Structures are given as structure tokens and as C-alpha cells.
Amino acid sequence: MARYVDVHPDNPQPRVIAQVAAAVRDDALIAYPTDSGYALGTRMGNRDGRERILTIRGLDDKHHFTLMCSDFAQLGQFAQISNSVFRAIRAATPGPYTFILPATAEVPRRLLHPKKRTVGVRIPDHAVCQALLSELGEPMVSSSLILPGETEPRALGWEIKEELDHVVDLVIEAGETLAEPTTVVDWSEGFPDIVRLGAGDVERFEE
């Protein structure tokens, strides 16, 4: 049965955030709110967590996992970014965007796209996310909580607790979130390719 943790959406309680971070360090799989709906998250070193996310979402090994990062310094450790790409991404973050970029050697192989050697990265604009990532001190492996047969991420913690009670370890409740996935931009070839239209404005990437 999943733990159910109530967190203030704008001023998350440090004590509660510390408890969630401790659970993540102990390889918990959590459902947590972001600026584009709920996501599933676990620590980078948790091999089992990756497989659990794929199972819950009904996805195969070709799925692009996202590293949820607290800031650009962290993002730069795991993704290769040219100067021109850096400027474009910097102007759009934090926000509801996922960027696909060539991965650095710091990214575990199991988190890479099997052929392209790329990884998804993003910096969320959500107080609970930022507090948790800051407390963790490293990115979380993440994927939008979009269940099989659905097109939008879940937006309510209590609903997730009811439905996924026996397949996740912890659910953060922080009020209703925007039920729209991120805009996904593939920058791996040096130019922006819009892979998925979502909550973010794509006009800034159109040449």
C-alpha cells in the first residue's frame, strides 16, 4: 500500500520533503506533481524502478526516460549542449518542456535511447518538484503518469492513490495540477524537432 503524503503546493514543508527524498534514496517509486501533470519518479541508480515505470505505463524499452533536473548546472552534467542549443533551452526553462539531447557518460546505459544514445532532460517550474530535487541533490528518473489507453497525465493525487495503490510506493498530494503533458523538443541533431505538442509554447523553437 502506497504512503500518501500531503504537501503544500507553493510552500512545501521541508520535513515532509526530506521524508519523500529519503524514500526515493531507498529506491521508492513515487507519483509526484509537476507543472504538467503528475509523473512517476525514482532515483537514477534504481534499476527496478525503471522496469516498474515501463510496466505501469505499458511501454517498451524504446521509451525515452526523462531526467528531472533542478537547474542548468545539473542538466549540463548529463546532456551535451552546444552554445546555440543552450541559449534556446535556457530561455524556455524552467517550464513544461522536455528536451531530447545527446547524453554524457554520466547517464547509465539503461536510461539511454538504445540506438540514438540520447536522454530526455527537463527543469520543472513547480515548487514541490524543485524542493524535492534540491533535497535529493541529483536528478530523478521520471516519466509522465499517462496510463495505457490515455493521452493526458493524471492530475489528482487522491485518484492516483486509489488506482495505483499497490504498484507505487508513495503518492504526493499537492492539489490539482495541469493535466497536459510537456512539449517534447528533440535537439539531438542540433535543430529543434517538435516530437510532442503539449503545455509549452512551441513558437519559440520555430525557425
In the chain, helix, strand, coil percent, each to 5? 30, 25, 45
pLDDT per residue over 96-151, tens digit each?
Answer: 999 999 999 999 888 888 788 999 999 999 999 999 999 999 999 999 999 999 98
First to last CA, the chain: 49
> Rounded distance, CA 37 to CA 71, Å?
20
Res 62: pLDDT: 77
Of 14-18, 88-92, 98-102, 203-207, give the lowest mean pLDDT range: 203-207
Closest-CA residue to 174 (of 31, 42, 63): 31
Residue whose cell numbers read 529543434: 192
* 29-40: average pLDDT: 95
Would you state the cell numbers that stand for residue 63, as one nine-digit string? 521509451
Dihedral-angle region of residue 57 (phi above 0 means left; psi in -120 to 50 means alpha; beta otherwise):
alpha
Domain count of the fold of the chain: 1
The CATH number of the domain holding residue 131 is 3.90.870.10
Of 35-39, 118-122, 196-200, give the lowest mean pLDDT range: 196-200
Res 40: pLDDT: 97
* 157-176: average pLDDT: 94
Residue whose cell numbers read 536522454: 119
> Rounded distance, CA 123 to CA 149, Å?
27
* Contacts of 84 by beta carbon, 8 Å cutoff, 6+ apart: 190
Q: What is the largest CA-CA distance in the chain?
A: 49
Residue whose cell numbers read 499537492: 174
Res 144: pLDDT: 93
Domain carrying residue 152: 3-205
- Average per-residue pLDDT in the chain? 92
Backbone angles phi, psi at 205, to 5 degrees: -105, -5
> Rounded distance, CA 170 to CA 29, Å?
7
Residue whose cell numbers read 509526484: 32
